[in-house]
Amino acid sequence: MTRDPGLASWLQLSLTPGLGAGAMRGMLRQFGLPQAVLERRRSELTAHAAPAVIAALDSQSVRDAVARALDWAAAPGHGVVTLADEHYPRALLETPDPPPVLYALGRTDLLQHPSLAIVGSRNATAQGEHNAESFAKAL
């Protein structure tokens, strides 16, 4: 996979703690692509998120998370798909709250075909994880 030079900016926004998908999309609507958002004065971004969240954009922990995500994306069969990517699922764009960034294993071009997704909590219980795994195996 060719590394998108703008991917780091997408990741920086999406991996900032406290900056939700809605706030990120609001910034993108107002300022354009993520690089344009990040080039704005931080005071201009506070209409979309709390000052502490905006300050976290430039934190070492976010830079480290971006580096890890870029390393992950560079591995064979790994992909990161953004709202601006041609492979972003069209059906997902039609939902009220599409995630700005998707992490994918396998062929991202297949995201344009009808598919089934298993979506769950980031903080699943042990029983929830077991149920999801059992359901996925049954498919």
Q: What does the alpha-carbon distance between residue 69 and residue 11 come to, in Å, rounded to a whole number?
A: 8
- The domain locations on the chain are 7-138
Q: What does the alpha-carbon distance between residue 13 and residue 54 come to, in Å, rounded to a whole number?
A: 10
pLDDT the model gives residue 5 = 66
Query: Quick count: other Cβ atoms within 10 Å of Cβ 20?
Result: 15
Block mean pLDDT (10 aa), the chain, length 139:
75 96 95 96 93 96 97 95 93 91 92 81 86 89
N- to C-terminal Cα distance for the chain? 29
Question: Which pair of structure tokens corresponds to residue 99?
Answer: 């995630």
Q: What does the alpha-carbon distance between residue 54 and residue 71 come to, in Å, rounded to a whole number?
A: 25
pLDDT the model gives residue 2 = 44
pLDDT the model gives residue 53 = 95
Q: What does the alpha-carbon distance between residue 108 and residue 114 come to, in Å, rounded to a whole number?
A: 13
Q: Is the model's pTM score more than 0.75? A: yes
pLDDT the model gives residue 1 = 41
